Structure 1
Amino acid sequence: MLPQAASFLFALFFLALFAPANANYKLPKLEIFSAVSFPRLDLRPQASGFSFDLEVALPPATSALEPLATVPIACSVYAGPGGECAAGMVATAVTYEDCGNTFDVCRCTDANMTMDTVVDRLGRVPVGLRRFLGTVLVLGGKTQAYTNLSTGDVHFFGQCAMETWIHEAAHALDYAIETAPLSNSVGWEKATLRDSCVPDNYSLTNQVEDFAQMAVIKTYMLLHSGNLPPGFEAACMENQLAFLNALPVFNPLTLFGNTCAISAVPDAR
């Protein structure tokens, strides 16, 4: 279980870096703006990184866009000289057919991903996970992403693959109840202690990252009739899978339920 101070700092600010979205991409080292160290998992990684692509398997969602006259404060604080977006920033309210709630998307004018790409990938995040996301910021530079666990706001840099979008949405789900994150629960800690493996090298970073990577694996399984990605086995991580299976959000009727009105899971932001 993460120390209380570590959990608090994680909830304030979290940064996870990602490599380009191509075959056999690897997730580089976790970076956080804190001197607190988080316990690394002493388990066997099944792969160096994920080589599958979820984008084709995940269905798109029809969307409606409305330009915002003013850039939300959640975005504007990162704009300007020395900020994450030194160029101009444009804000858009995006509404999807499967969820009446709008998502504020702020795109830096020098961002690598086009607005069409951003709207498409955000819409492919299953609604059961997407509902936990806050404001989405899209920026230029090296491919990486991080989630502010206090707000669910996600910052995407470069060209982030669907696996990254699912990973970050899983962080938002994890900390939906900020005082009781799922990855800091007794159940998740026991699951990692009883198992002998994790999905990949990045999962070893700590149990927070492992939860997010396992959520990517679970999403893959639900899209492929319960099958794991090629080269992965379930037995060595069966307790982690069982923990996710017990979460209402990973019921297929919830995850792909075509609605944000889900009473069996915590309220989204």
Structure 2
Amino acid sequence: MNPCEAYLAAKKTVIEAHLQQLLPVTEPAFAPLYKAMNYSLLAGGKRIRPILFLAALEALGKESSVYMDVACALECVHSYSLIHDDLPAMDNDDLRRGKPTNHRVFGEGMAILAGDGLLTFAFELLARQRVADAEKIGACIRVLAHAAGPAGMVGGQAYDLLSEGHGDIGTEGLKLMHRGKTGVIFEAVMSMAGILAAAPAAVRQVLQVYAEQLGLTFQITDDILDACGTEAELGKPVGSDVKNNKATYVTLFSLDKAKQLAQESAQQAVAAVAPLGASARFLRDLPEYLLVRVK
């Protein structure tokens, strides 16, 4: 196991132990809802967003363990988005992380409510934090709400839905959709770390550029895996983009060109955090690790 994989594994273990404690049933009558929420929240996955947040704090010289609730709030938002993305009205997927999707297990109505519950709980989790002063926590809430809302992730999903069946949205349309669905959350993760670490403006700009390029690397490699990966690698059926006639980096360019673009964005991400030095080792290793999935 290389250092990047070891770091991912160690942080994932800590994060998942914390997630296990987050949503106990406090009202027995609501137990089915909590079961549906925990089903998706605890279903596994890479936990890239909270791990990236913790790694950024460490790169900025902060002790990351005290911010575990903030990290887990990011995972709550991500899990909510996956539940809703999988719904029949959206991607209509049957598998997620190697398990039946939430609506297949609990029904469409309960799945919608489970997603709603995870999203709102994420902001409750942030709002009750005492690990930083109120001004910093408020700033983090604003950043995440903006990134997850109509100007970010929800907007990207809406654009994706409206673009379905239209494979000709062009490069700019593809960039807009992917930044909305994926990139803005990566940017929010790094911005929140910068806020909590009281990083100077120049360092926050470094993190911003890194997040943009890492998000692009992540999305291009995801498009490549959907085209030529396996169900075991993805934890969900492959070829869903083609099935839904969605524009991807593979369909708009080619498989080889998509791999080239992923390589270029990964290199730019690595270069962006070079000024942070040795403390940013994981941030430098992660883009290359993502590329390994599609080599």
Q: What's the TM-score, normalizing by structure 1?
A: 0.29
Larger Rg: 2
Structure having the higher strand fraction is: 1
Greater relative contact order, per chain length (Cα 8 Å cut-off, separation 6+): 1
Structure having the higher helix fraction is: 2
